[in-house]
Amino acid sequence: MVITVRRILIREEYCMGCKLCEINCVAAQVGTGNLIKIYRYVPELPEPNVIVEEHDYITFALQCRNCDDPSCLKACMTGAMHRDPETGAIKVNQEKCVGCWMCVMACPFGVVRRSTKEKKVASKCDLCIDRGTPACVEGCPNEALVLVEVRG
């Protein structure tokens, strides 16, 4: 069965390190479009599921790659980390997650992390499945992040 997998393409040559992708990710998780007020009025903000990495003069956004052969999925002993059969995205079932952190250790990109909301479970980018277009992609002023569809 061939499915189309959505992935975020990172074009580091366009990234200026503004971190608007991180801010938009947090706003999407909180459920508001007001980027300024969330930092002032929301007491406990979630961690962004996209992180801007900087090294010398290179900056780029880092988030789940939804790998073809995901190490995080193989490392998960409960089946909480799974591939969505419809979208091909790697997702976390927080009901099944026991917080062993094997997925965190197995991810070669370091993008699976401990949830700041539910301290006992893993958290990662879900491609803003409920929104259509990921918030980080929408909010990038230079189009350094582009949503692409790959037939898998």
Q: What is the pLDDT along the chain (152 residues), one digit of tens a residue?
A: 677 788 999 999 999 999 999 999 999 988 877 777 887 878 888 889 999 999 888 998 999 999 989 999 999 999 999 998 888 889 999 899 999 999 999 999 999 998 877 668 999 999 998 888 999 999 999 999 999 988 76
Same-domain pairing of 95 and 145:
no
Domain limits at 116? 68-124
The residue type at 33: G
State the pLDDT at residue 152.
65
Same-domain pairing of 30 and 78:
no
State the pLDDT at residue 46.
84
What CA–CA distance (Å, rounded) separates 39 from 43? 8
Backbone angles phi, psi at 135, to 5 degrees: -60, -35
Same-domain pairing of 19 and 45:
yes
Number of domains in the chain: 2
Same-domain pairing of 72 and 112:
yes
